Structure 1
């Protein structure tokens, strides 16, 4: 929303969107705080299953402390996205760098020196998230906008937000739910398997984050080329080509480095040979699924920038549904942890090919010079 308004050079509309979306973010954060406080333990118990009920108390301690930061987290995300929509990545980068430093120092002091364990890790992360949220808001204020002027949205505002956010919400939840399903099935495969999976999936997420800037770049720069005063689809296609090439190179590098670490240096994570053996079983699918992720993220970012939200949500829902069926089959078929990771390959590569086909279509947003199908004004029709 912000990137499109900036492309139209409508500063008043940008301020209104920031004020309204920050209110929605604050309300969402307070809701999550309430849910975590009163239903966190129940959700953890339901997720871990009866075989792992002994880990719930420690997990709940962590969740309850982290939950205190929910309002700051979501408000910070809104402010960060607004800055990125204005093509400013330095403000969010500074905030995240300082927050990461606070989190790292806090972990060392609270966990290693003071012995607070998982509670110390939670407090360090919570404080860093609050600091990051404040810095994100301050970054918007320095751009000439009033990020403290929070406005209650009107019905029209809510309708517009829902029209855009609902498909994006479905898309994000489909990703999260699929990863959660993998963890769920791995949790029921025994202690060594779940330990190995936690190592691999955490490092996997760490590497996939490197592809997110490609998605953010598309969401920040594409609206100007698609809807701006100087609309230029040829430049939009060139930008997409560059993003895919960078994504492919980055994916290959991340795949090699990301796979090499648990393969050659598994003792960084654990000294237990049984856990290491389980980790090594999924190295091949780990590499294949990681290698395509940056390119897939760049394609999805382009579709989001072009407001092709109906397709993105339907595509992701379909990938999740088929992926969940595959996970159920490989789990019941006794394929173990490798089966779950091969299901992840299908999920990631299906996203890539479906998005690529959509964007390369002659009638798609990047080729239809006269088409109005993807203009923001048509969102309500979609």
Structure 2
């Protein structure tokens, strides 16, 4: 009788260890990624305003090109984790190789489109005559690294599926240091200017891809997995990624609409919105780390046919999401006075941002639930539902957000609308998790 409660506590401790072991390194790797752009910005910024403006335009295009293919990591994580749970490591690595081949094909396609159309793409941003040549130069060179960047996404998914988030962290750190050194050397030492920054980043990205491939190839040799491209496997990887692509595009549309609405509110509001959005993205890294752990853990449990373990892990990760969300919300409220002066001295911008930051703080526990359940359903391979839910959220968010300038309330009202969007996402994901329809066991969904 006295020992009966020990089981759930032991189960929670086991889940806690798994979550921490996977989430902490994943958080480090996620934070390291934007440091690439920050390094480029700091180095290029000293070349001149036109060069920095060109970098800003080219980087926006590059980040958009890469972010829409993030499904390469998400879908691969879920597929590989299922095979791991089923105890079939050769098939897990084989599944991951299909994702890498798909990444190479997609990367080649992006290069083929972006190289000849670079001037037109830069022109779509209304880039000034002074900045446009620098943007085109940076874009044409940096786009050569996109295949490597997509391989990194797919290979990261393989390692996450294998329950390894430490290797991506180490590779990200080495890549960040290498990128900084190459950029400084090529921009100033070799006198290549903004082209040197682009070449430095491309070399660093190719180096990261090479390290990942070496790790995957070693695992393939160890377990006797085939490395040859398999048309059926590549096609299956692409089909699994389509719903996640729809989800990602819908989410990016929401963020673009929010920015467009903020721009209509006035210069102070759009400036404050940019600051808040930067913070919101930073907070998302902490929550996304738990989601990444969820993808790997849930996929493994379902692959092993352990439905009770999957449900228990889901519940525990939701508790983690809420707890981390509460902590992040408190930190946002407490650090508001110190945070805003880091970005602006304009009192109008501060006045617009302060109440909106309170809304962001209050929404963090909701965001915690959203990120975790998003990760759980990705790990379960429930992409079609995620796509449908995000499209529905976009359809509800758009008219409400567009009414903000007419109804008043300024930036605070816009971020209240963003919270409404996250609440709707939470409801759609919670209903799905409660239904149990995401629980499909076996090595494949």
Does TM-score exceed 0.5, indicating one fold? yes
Does residue 209 of the first structure (1) align with residue 282 of the second (2)? no
Q: Paired residue for 1:26?
A: 104
Which one of 132, 139, 145 corresponds to residue 215 of structure 2?
139
Q: C-alpha separation between the residues in 2 aligned to 1:28 and 1:330?
A: 38
Q: C-alpha separation between the residues in 1 aligned to 2:299 and 2:444?
A: 15
Equivalent residue runs for 1:288-299 within 5 Å: 288-299=362-373
Instruction: Summarize the Cα distance change of 1:186–1:30 in structure 2 as closer, same or farther, 3 Å threshold.
Output: farther
Equivalent residue runs for 1:116-131 within 5 Å: 125-131=201-207
Is the partner of 1:364 in helix, strand or coil?
coil
Q: Paired residue for 2:115?
A: 37
Q: Paired residue for 2:57?
A: none
Q: Paired residue for 2:88?
A: 10
* 1:112-148 superposed Cα distances (whole Å, 9 cap, x missing partner): 9999998777666555433333332233234345999
Q: Please, what is the CA RMSD of the aligned residues?
A: 3.4
Q: C-alpha separation between the residues in 2 aligned to 1:45 and 1:117?
A: 22
Equivalent residue runs for 1:303-314 within 5 Å: 303-314=377-388
**Contact 2:101-2:229 at 8 Å conserved across structures:** yes
Is the partner of 2:219 in helix, strand or coil?
coil
* 1:11-30 superposed Cα distances (whole Å, 9 cap, x missing partner): 33233323322111012122
Q: C-alpha separation between the residues in 2 aligned to 1:124 and 1:192?
A: 36
**TM-score with structure 1 length normalisation?**
0.81
Which one of 139, 157, 161 corresponds to residue 233 of structure 2?
157
Equivalent residue runs for 1:65-144 within 5 Å: 65-103=141-179, 125-144=201-220
Q: C-alpha separation between the residues in 1 aligned to 2:191 and 2:266?
A: 28
Instruction: Summarize the Cα distance change of 1:236–1:158 in structure 2 as closer, same or farther, 3 Å threshold.
Output: same
Q: Paired residue for 1:371?
A: none
Does residue 364 of the first structure (1) align with residue 364 of the second (2)? no
**Contact 1:26-1:75 at 8 Å conserved across structures:** yes
Q: C-alpha separation between the residues in 2 aligned to 1:232 and 1:358?
A: 19
Q: C-alpha separation between the residues in 1 aligned to 2:347 and 2:129?
A: 23
TM-aligned CA deviation for residue 283 of structure 1: 0.9
The structure showing larger relative contact order (alpha-carbon pairs under 8 Å, at least 6 residues apart) is: 2
- Gapped runs of 5+ residues in structure 2? 1-78
Q: Count how many residue pairs are aligned between Structure 1 and Structure 2.
A: 365
- Gapped runs of 5+ residues in structure 1? 367-373
Q: C-alpha separation between the residues in 2 aligned to 1:341 and 1:122?
A: 35
Q: Paired residue for 1:369?
A: none
**Contact 1:110-1:116 at 8 Å conserved across structures:** yes
Q: C-alpha separation between the residues in 2 aligned to 1:94 and 1:8?
A: 28
Instruction: Single out whichever of 115-124 and 191-200 deviates more from structure 2.
Output: 115-124
**TM-score with structure 2 length normalisation?**
0.71
**Contact 2:82-2:301 at 8 Å conserved across structures:** no
Q: Paired residue for 1:222?
A: 298
Q: C-alpha separation between the residues in 2 aligned to 1:290 and 1:55?
A: 41
Which one of 199, 213, 217 corresponds to residue 275 of structure 2?
199
Q: Paired residue for 1:250?
A: 324
Q: C-alpha separation between the residues in 2 aligned to 1:264 and 1:236?
A: 41
Q: C-alpha separation between the residues in 1 aligned to 2:189 and 2:280?
A: 29
Does residue 185 of the first structure (1) align with residue 261 of the second (2)? yes
Q: C-alpha separation between the residues in 1 aligned to 2:354 and 2:267?
A: 16
Instruction: Summarize the Cα distance change of 1:244–1:41 in structure 2 as closer, same or farther, 3 Å threshold.
Output: farther
TM-aligned CA deviation for residue 86 of structure 1: 0.5
Which one of 404, 413, 421 corresponds to residue 339 of structure 1?
413
Q: Paired residue for 2:45?
A: none
